[in-house]
Amino acid sequence: MIRETLETLVASSSMSDMAERMGIGMDDLRLRLTLLEEKGFLRRTGGEACESSCGRHCPGCVSAPAASAEGYELTDKGRKVLERN
């Protein structure tokens, strides 16, 4: 699950594209990304100041349904997973 999610993140242009490529729903994708963030494989980029009051529509909101997969970046730990054969 870790490698598949990280590879798909790198190859995807949006969260919806990522979910479609993985054959999962947006809620499942958000859960996976949150878990990988908590484990140190990736980090959020942008949307840090986002609050739930934004209605998931503020610029750069990583919670928005159409948020870019670029709203996340791999950490060194995540890159090492992808570098392994």
User: Across the chain, how many H-helices and E-strands are there?
Assistant: 4, 2
What CA–CA distance (Å, rounded) separates 9 from 45? 13
> Please, how many CA atoms are within 13 Å of residue 66, restricted to the half-sphere of its CB?
3
The stretch 17-25 carries a mean pLDDT of 94
Bridge partners for 73 per DSSP = 43
pLDDT tens track for 25-80: 999 999 999 999 999 999 988 654 455 555 554 544 545 444 446 688 899 999 99
**CA separation for the pair 82, 56 (Å, rounded):** 30
pLDDT at 70: 62
The residue behind tokens 């610029």 is 59
Set out the domains of the chain in order of their start, with CATH numbers.
Answer: 2-83 (1.10.10.10)
Q: What is the pTM of this model?
A: 0.71
Q: What pLDDT is stored for residue 45 in this prediction?
A: 83
